[in-house]
Amino acid sequence: MTLPPMPTPAENPSMRSAGGAIRTLLITGVSRGLGKALALELAKRGHYIIGGARSQDKLNAFQTELASSTNPPSENKHLLMSVDVSLNSSVEEFARAVMEKKGVPDIIVNCAGTINRNNKLWEVPAEEFDSVIDTNLKGTANVLRHFIPLMLEKKQGVIVNMSSGWGRSGAAQVAPYCASKWAIEGLTASVAKELPPGMAAVALNPGVIYTDMLQSCFGNSASLYQTPESWAPKAANMILNLTMADNGASLSV
């Protein structure tokens, strides 16, 4: 009897990540949604998390949850800090603190994001439009501005900028969000051309996930889609196995 050939690591990403090195990952938007689910999944696998979010109260609550999910359980393995990615000065201070306490992360996941309330573009208040662009686009650029120079010194590192299916297509009622995610695609493709060998930047479409943001768009029907917790293992496998060969790619989980 001839047995079928065993899958190679390239064909089975979970095989590659199972015995991989322990990484330090910086995740923005870590207090909720995809950022939170991804951080918990990575901590469960033994990786180190540097997390940023605006709400200190949410970070305090998440600290205990993250510590209990860590393998082995630990209160001091991770670093969670308040940061407003839309403010360059806040990210600058965050980067300085991260360097002092944890050093340069191996992987950065720009997960912080927001969306406008469903509305025609001309009915979206200017402040709401600005908030989407400031967080989704300028927030990502602020993180890159302060962390890429640190990664350059090591001549290695992977950057994952969260995009969206709406960063590759258009949709009514969410023009500001679509604009911000199309911009992330262009920003990532351009930055990728500026990075030296050994580094990579990718735009990652997470898919359609049941989050507060999706509920804002889809209402109750958002619950028909997969949860962040079911998405996180697949996303973690993909992110942990990115290499410099992926530089400039637009990927999807």
Tell me the catalytic residues: 177
| SS (HEC) of 184-252 | HHHHHHHHHHHCCCCEEEEEEECCCECCHHHHHHHHHHHHHCECHHHHHHHHHHHHHCCCHHHCCCEEE
Q: Please give the biggest Cα pair distance in the chain.
A: 69
Report how far apart, in Å, the C-alpha atoms of 196 and of each of 104, 153, 158, 172 are.
17, 11, 12, 38
Query: Which residues have CB under 8 Å from 229's CB, separation 6+?
Result: 37, 40
Is the Cβ–Cβ distance between 234 and 253 less than 8 Å? yes
- Say whether the peptide bond before residue 196 is cis (omega within 30 degrees of 0): no
